[in-house]
Structure 1
Amino acid sequence: MKVIPKNGIDKLVFGMKQNDVLSIFGNPDKQFKDEDQNVIFIYNDLMLQMSFYEEEDFRLGYLISSNPELTIFDHNVIGKTIENLKSELLTFKTWEKENFDLAENYFNEENWLILVSEFNKIVKVELGCIINDDEFDWKYGE
C-alpha cells in the first residue's frame, strides 16, 4: 500500500466521499461516529482506518494504517526503526517528536504525516489532508 504524502494511500484520495470508498473496498468491517460526529470506517484485512469529517460534508480527511505493506517512496515503513526510515526519507526535512508512555510520535507537518513508534519500531502511520489558509486541500476530483 503506497502512502502518497498530501494525497492519501493507494486509491484513497483526500476528499473522497463514503460512497467513493464503498465502491472500491465494499462495506467496512466496522463503522461508527466519533465524538465529533465524524464517520469512521475500519477495514480489518487492510489494517486501515478512515475518517470522514462531518464539518466538511463527510469528505475523507484522515487515514491510519498498520498494514505491513505500507511504503513511502518505495521504502517499507512498518517494522523499521525511525532512524532507518528517516535516513531513507531525506526529502522530509523536519520531524517533531512527542513521547507518550510506550509510544513515540514523529510528526512531519509539511506532509501531515505521523510515524508512531513502539519498542523502537514503527507500528502505525497516520496521514491527514493538508490545510492551506484554513481550507482543506482536497485532492479528489482535481
Structure 2
Amino acid sequence: MKINPKNGIDQLLFGMKQKDVIAIYGNPDKQFVDDDKNVIFLYYNKKLRLTFYEDEDYRLGYIISSNTDLVLLDKKVIGRNVIEVKNELPFKSWETEDFDSTENHFNESNWLILQSEFDEIIRVEIGAIINDNDQFDWKFKK
C-alpha cells in the first residue's frame, strides 16, 4: 500500500466521500461517530482507520494505518527503525513528541506522523493538507 504524501494512501484520496471509499473497499468492518461527530471507518484486513470530517461535508481528511505493506517513497516503513526511515526521506523538518513508550515524529509540510515504539515504526498517520487560504486542499475531484 503506497503512501502518497499530501494525497492519501493506496487508492484513497483526500476529499473522497464515504460512498467513494465503499466503491473501492466495500463496507467497513466497523463504523462509528467520534466525539467531534466525524464518521470513522475501520477496515481490519487493511489495518486502516479513515476519518470523514463532519464540518467538511464528510470528506475523507485523515488516515491512520499499521499495515505492514505500507510503502513511503518506495521504502517499507512499519517495523523499521524510525531514525533510519527519517534519514532516508527527503523530508528534513520533524517535530517529535514523547508519550511514555511511544513517540510521534511529525512532518508538517506533508502532514505525516510516523509513530514509533522502542524505536520501531508501528503506525503511520497522514492528513489532508491545508492550503495558504486556510482551506483543505482536496485531491479527489468528482
Q: Do the structures match in fold with TM over 0.5?
A: yes
1:10-89 equivalences under 5 Å are 10-89=10-89
| Offset at residue 134 of structure 1 (A) | 1.3
Secondary structure in structure 2 of the residue aligned to 1:140: coil
Match of 1:2 in 2: 2
Q: Tell me the number of residue pairs that the alignment of Structure 1 and Structure 2 aligns.
A: 141
Alpha-carbon distance in structure 2 between the residues aligned to 1:83 and 1:18: 35
Match of 1:112 in 2: 111
| Offset at residue 37 of structure 1 (A) | 0.4
Question: Match of 2:127, as an amino acid?
Answer: G
1:85-96 equivalences under 5 Å are 85-89=85-89, 91-96=90-95
| Offset at residue 103 of structure 1 (A) | 0.6
Q: Is the CA contact 2:83–2:119 (under 8 Å) kept in the aligned structure 1?
A: no
| Offset at residue 129 of structure 1 (A) | 0.1
Secondary structure in structure 2 of the residue aligned to 1:123: strand
CA deviations over 1:63-116 (Å, ceiling 9, x no partner): 000000000010000001111101210x10100000001110000000000000
Gaps of 5+ in 2: none
Question: Match of 1:55, as an amino acid?
Answer: D
Question: Match of 2:95, as an amino acid?
Answer: E
Secondary structure in structure 1 of the residue aligned to 2:64: strand
- Percent of residue pairs identical: 60
User: TM-score, with normalisation over the residues of structure 2?
Assistant: 0.98
User: TM-score, with normalisation over the residues of structure 1?
Assistant: 0.98
Gaps of 5+ in 1: none
Secondary structure in structure 2 of the residue aligned to 1:86: helix
